[in-house]
Amino acid sequence: MLTRLANGTIIDPAHGVNAVQRDIFIEDGRIVRAPAAMRKIDREYDLSGNIVMAGALDIHTHIGGGKVNIARVLLPEDHEQDPVAPSAGRRGGSGRAVPSTFVTGYRYAEMGYTACFEPAMLPANTRQAHLEMADIPIVDAGAYVLMGNDDFLLQLMSDGAPQALITDYVAWTMRATQALAVKVVNPGGINAFKFNQRKLDLDERHAVYDVTPRSILRALCTAVHDLGIPHPLHVHGCNLGVPGNDATTLDTITAADGLRMHLTHLQFHAYGKEGDRKFSSGAARIAERINAAQNISLDVGQIMFGRTVTASGDTMLQFRGAKHAHPKKTVTMDIECDAGCGVVPFNYRSRNFVNALQWCVGLELFLLINDPWRIFLTTDHPNGAPFTCYPHLIRLLMDREYRLEMLSGLHPAARQHSILASLTREYSLYEIAILTRAAPARSLGLGDRGHLGVGAAADVVVYRKRRNMEEMFSSPRLVFKDGKPVVQDGRIIDTPAGTVHRVAPEFDPAIARRLQRYFDRYHTVRLGNFRLGDDELLSYGRAGLSTHSCLPV
């Protein structure tokens, strides 16, 4: 079937196309060249005056894996207060901060998102994570496997194993868990927490293993680089949320030593400790450094005011944060000794100095980092805010007046501690398209997503032009997923299954012998059962498996 999207205003930064009126042709789920004149067009949409972009990608959103379910169980009231009734063709669900799987898919699609990536899949939770993501309709998914706190790796490093061995282990884990990238959370810190260390700075030694966070970052960065994984190491650094962690972040950038590194939810890692309240914004210093360091990319993890829940593998952090829980209940647990899990419900309040300044820090990062290709739009769903806040966030970035209006409602001291009022930058639609489409797709190595070139998957979003960007981005006129219309005028009309994205790095299979011994001795699962095969993954109900190429050095 040949579909023509006629007369739309195309914004496609991957090809440098900015607001050009052009037709797009879709056939068999792909964008194709303009066909010969005599070919019959089966379906035509007149998009005059509408803006056409590729489907948006969320590079960091917690939508699967153990912690999300734990958060759901912990917060029945989140579900009780936000029920979604089933309707023709779509299933019911509930939840605002941590919606149920179906609702997650619908809400993403309704905003024009067509791919979401779970950034913290513990190897032990692989099946849970993939099964859960397979239950999310419409959107594509992929997961980053969590490493850097597992005893096998720390033991290897402690024993002074050669980098090649560590690299093989990373590759083996990625294959076994069907991952798209590697993430490290509080390198070594989650493990150290189990040995009663309550903080672990970048150069602090682990109590048992002879490692420091810096050496772990270095080893994993090198492994990801050597394997040629498209997405750089996804780093949730040390000292999240601790005032003065801006210095740690700057040191972490140094620790990358020129290798590519992705700093995730950087907003939580950009706090200074100046001023009489011992809490200030470190955004300016960090932005200056990142502007100069071409090897670093980041996503912001903006917070929004209101109730949400923080779910993280960082047990050390969540143990510290448990006293701020609202409502007063938390889960802090270990998961199969792979890493940890902490779930703390949270209420960000605009009249609270710290929360208000966090809000400012996130926006300062957005506005001070010049290269939109290296910064991605996230709220670290659900940790900063539920992903449904994205249209509001886009409006804050694109509309200075609105931003100042919001700023005026904040805690007065936070306003004084922030330079946000003096920042005049307003994002253009073109830049928003980079932030939410072209740049994340490029960073993840998804060659056929995030752009509208010939051969790309036909994930297309059509927006009506509006003055109010929040309205525009919250209800697109049309959303196509792999060529099928899935949303029309803000309503779901079809719910096809998405694809799983992964990489398949090569490695020396000799590593399996070592792992066999480790598994036999320590693990609860046998090595053969631990691995998630392609057939099993496809049996979860995905439309397909999309393997992206690695370019090993």
Partner 1 sequence: MKPLILTLRRNDHGRIDVSPLTPDKLHGMNRDAVAAIRLQCGRRRVRVDTLFEITGRGARRVEIRRSTDQLFRIGFRMRSGTLEVRGHAGDNLGERMEGGEIRVRGDAGEWVGASMGGGLIDVSGCVGHRIGAALPGQLTGMKDGLILIAGDAGDRAGERMRAGTIVVLGNSGPWLAHRMAAGTIIVMGRSGAHAGIGMKRGTILMGRKPLLPPVGFRAAGTLKMEFLRLLFKQLGGTRTSMAMFRGFGPEAIRLAGDLTAGGKGEILILLNARAGAAT
| Contact by Cβ (8 Å): 292, 256 | no
Q: Which is nearer to partner 1, 77 or 257 (CB)?
A: 77
Which of 4, 60, 79, 175 contacts partner 1 by CB under 8 A? 79
Q: In sequence order, what are the residues at sequence separation of 6 or more whose Cβ sits closer than 8 angstroms to the Cβ of residue 236?
A: 120, 183, 184, 185, 186, 264, 265, 312, 314
Number of residues that bind partner 1 (CB under 8 A): 6
- C-alpha distance from residue 485 to each of 476, 489, 496 (Å): 12, 11, 10
Nearest distance from C-beta of residue 108 to partner 1, angstroms:
24
Q: Which is nearer to partner 1, 77 or 520 (CB)?
A: 77
Nearest distance from C-beta of residue 76 to partner 1, angstroms:
4
Give the CA count within 13 Å in the CB-facing half-sphere of 35: 14
Q: CA Rg, the chain, in Å?
A: 23
Q: Which is nearer to partner 1, 94 or 125 (CB)?
A: 94
Contact stretch for partner 1 (CB under 8 A) within 76-84, 227-235, 452-460, 501-509 = 76-84
Nearest distance from C-beta of residue 358 to partner 1, angstroms:
26
**327 binds partner 1 per the rule CB under 8 A:** yes
Tokens representing 117 are 């990536």
Nearest distance from C-beta of residue 86 to partner 1, angstroms:
11
Q: Which is nearer to partner 1, 75 or 235 (CB)?
A: 75
Q: Which is nearer to partner 1, 98 or 377 (CB)?
A: 98
Contact stretch for partner 1 (CB under 8 A) within 3-11, 78-86, 167-175, 228-236 = 78-86
Which of 42, 46, 80, 520 contacts partner 1 by CB under 8 A? 80
Can you say how many angstroms the Cα of residue 202 is from the centroid of all Cα atoms in its chain? 23
Q: 519, 43, 78: which is closest to 327 by C-alpha?
A: 78
> CB atoms < 10 A from the CB of 81, how many?
12
Rounded CA gap, 389 and 468, in Å? 15
| Contact by Cβ (8 Å): 215, 342 | no
139 SS3 class: coil
Give the CA count within 13 Å in the CB-facing half-sphere of 95: 27
Q: Which is nearer to partner 1, 80 or 159 (CB)?
A: 80
Contact stretch for partner 1 (CB under 8 A) within 56-64, 79-87, 388-396, 538-546 = 79-87
**76 binds partner 1 per the rule CB under 8 A:** yes
The residue behind tokens 């948006």 is 56
Can you say how many angstroms the Cα of residue 469 is from the centroid of all Cα atoms in its chain? 22
Which of 77, 371, 405, 471 contacts partner 1 by CB under 8 A? 77
Q: Which is nearer to partner 1, 78 or 140 (CB)?
A: 78
Contact stretch for partner 1 (CB under 8 A) within 30-38, 74-82, 245-253, 410-418 = 74-82
Q: Which is nearer to partner 1, 92 or 409 (CB)?
A: 92
DSSP 8-state assignment for residue 253: H
Q: Which residues bind partner 1 (CB under 8 A)?
A: 76-77, 79-81, 327
